[in-house]
Structure 1
Amino acid sequence: MAPHPSAEQVEAPRSQRVTMLAVCLDLEGILVPEIWINVAERTGIEALRRTTRDEPDYDRLMRYRLDILDENGVTIDDITAAIEVMEPLEGAIGFLESLERSWPTIVLSDTFSQFARPMMGKLGNPTLLCHTLVIEDSGRISDWTIRLEDQKRRTVEALRSMNFEVVAVGDSYNDTSMLATASAGILFRPPDNVVEEFPQYPVTRDYDGLMAAIGEAAAALGE
C-alpha cells in the first residue's frame, strides 16, 4: 500500500488556496462600555477608573485593580451587580448583527469570563475569547488566569496562519499588537494619545463609519 502523502505534499499551490476574511473586535469601548469605569461609578471608587487607555502594562494594571478591590472590600458579587445593569453601546447590537452576516467575527478581550457573561447574552452571544478570574469562596478576587500571553495578537497570528485575512478593530494600547499583526487595523473612538502614537491606523467614530472602514479594508484585501 502506498504511504499517505504528507501535509506538505498535499498543500495546494498558493494560487489555489482559498482565503477568507475574519473580523476581530475588542469588546470594551467597541461593543460595551468600559466595565471598570462602570464599576468605579457604581462603587464610588474613583481609582478603578484607570484602564488600558491609561496604563498599557496589563499585568501592572490588574495588580493595581485587585489591590484597590482588597482595600475597599469589593467582591465579585459587587462587580457583577454593576455589570448586570450595563447595556451594550447604542448601535452595537445592530452593528454586530450586520458584521456577523458578512464575515466570521470573533470578540477578543482582556476582560474575564465572569465579567463578560452578563453582557454576552445582550449581544446575541458572539464568539468571545477572554481570560478568567480566580475567585475565593468568600467572593474575593485573588488573582487572574490569562488564556494566552498577548492573546489578541496570537489569535490573529493563528488565523492568518490558517490563510485568513484579518481585519482587527480596537481602541486602546492593548489592542495595538493585534492591529499590527492583522491584515488591516482600525481604531474606533480611541483617545487622543493612542491616535497620536499610532497614526498609521484609520480612526472611526461611529458604527456606520466603522462598518464602511471594514468594508473598504475587505475590498482592498480582495474579499
Structure 2
Amino acid sequence: MNIVCLDLEGVLVPEIWIGFAERTGIPEFRRTTRDEPNYDTLMRYRLDLLARNKLGLPDIQKVVCEMGPMQGAREFLDKLREEYEVIILSDTFYEFAHPLMRQLAWPTLFCHSLETDANGMVVDYHLRMPEQKREAVKRFKEMNFTVVAAGDSYNDTAMLGEAHAGILFHPPENVIREFPQYPVTQNYNELRAEIDKAFARAAG
C-alpha cells in the first residue's frame, strides 16, 4: 500500500501567517519556516507579536475563513486520493485549519493545537509530538507502507528524508540550494508526475 504525505501551507493552501500579515498590515508576521528553521523560536516570536499587537485567535480565524486553497489544489488532491492514501502532515493548528479542510473535502490532517485564554488570546501552542512529520512517516513505514512525501520548507525536510522518496514543491531558493538531493516541482502536474515516478521506482 502506498501513502503520500503532503505539507499543507505552501503546497495546498497559502501560508496562513503571510495572509495574516497582509490583512493586519504587520509585516513581521510574514516570517515562516522558510526563513526560520527552528519551529519553537518561530512560534515564540509569533506569540510575542500577537500579544504586543493585542491580536487573538478570532482575528486569525477571520483571515483563514476568507482564504481558500491554492488554485488547482482541490482537483489535484481529489485525483491523488483516487490512486493513493493521502495524509496531510502540517505544523499548522487545528484551530486554523478547519475552514480550509472543508474546502479540500476533509482530507486527513495531523497537526498541532493552540491554547487560548478566556479572551481568545493565544497563550501557548502544543505540539502533537516532537518531529511529528518525520515520526509519522517512520510509523507508516513500520506498518509496511511505501511513503512518498512532498513539502516546500525547512520543516518538511526531515519528513522528506525519512520517506522512501521526497519531493520539493515550489520551494524557495535557499531550500533548493541546501537540499539538492530532492527533485523540485513548480506546479501540480509536475508534482503528480514525480509522485508517480517515485512509487514506480519503489515498486521496481
Matched residue type, 1:98: K
Q: Could you list the per-position Cα deviations for residues 101-135 of structure 1 after superposition, in whole angstroms to 9, with x for gaps in the alignment? A: 00000000000000011100000000000000001
1:64 aligns with 2:45: yes
**From 210, 213, 220, the counterpart of 2:194:** 213
**From 36, 39, 43, the counterpart of 1:55:** 36
Aligned to 1:163: 144
Structure 1: segments with no counterpart, 5+ residues: 1-19
Distance 1:92 1:156 in 2: 22
Give the superposition deviation at 1:46.
Answer: 0.6
Aligned positions, number:
204
Distance 2:137 2:80 in 1: 18
1:25 aligns with 2:9: no
1:176 aligns with 2:138: no
Give the superposition deviation at 1:202.
Answer: 0.2
Distance 1:98 1:155 in 2: 23
Structure 1 stretches of at least 4 aligned residues deviating more than 3 Å after TM superposition? none
Distance 1:103 1:192 in 2: 29
Aligned to 1:128: 109
Q: Could you list the per-position Cα deviations for residues 136-185 of structure 1 after superposition, in whole angstroms to 9, with x for gaps in the alignment? A: 11010000111010000000000000111100001000000000000000
Give the superposition deviation at 1:194.
Answer: 0.1
Aligned to 1:17: none
Distance 2:127 2:166 in 1: 24
1:185 aligns with 2:203: no
Give the superposition deviation at 1:95.
Answer: 0.2
Q: Could you list the per-position Cα deviations for residues 17-64 of structure 1 after superposition, in whole angstroms to 9, with x for gaps in the alignment? A: xxx110000000000000000001111111000000000000000000
Distance 1:23 1:219 in 2: 13
Distance 1:41 1:35 in 2: 10
Look up the SS of the partner of 2:92 in the other structure: strand
Distance 1:209 1:135 in 2: 40
Distance 2:178 2:110 in 1: 27
Q: Taking structure 2 as the reference length, what is the TM-score of the superposition?
A: 0.99
Q: Taking structure 1 as the reference length, what is the TM-score of the superposition?
A: 0.91
Structure 2: segments with no counterpart, 5+ residues: none
Distance 2:98 2:115 in 1: 15
Distance 2:116 2:106 in 1: 24
**Aligned-pair identity (%):** 55
Look up the SS of the partner of 1:168 in the other structure: strand
Distance 1:118 1:142 in 2: 22
Higher-Rg member (1/2): 1
Aligned-CA RMSD value: 0.7
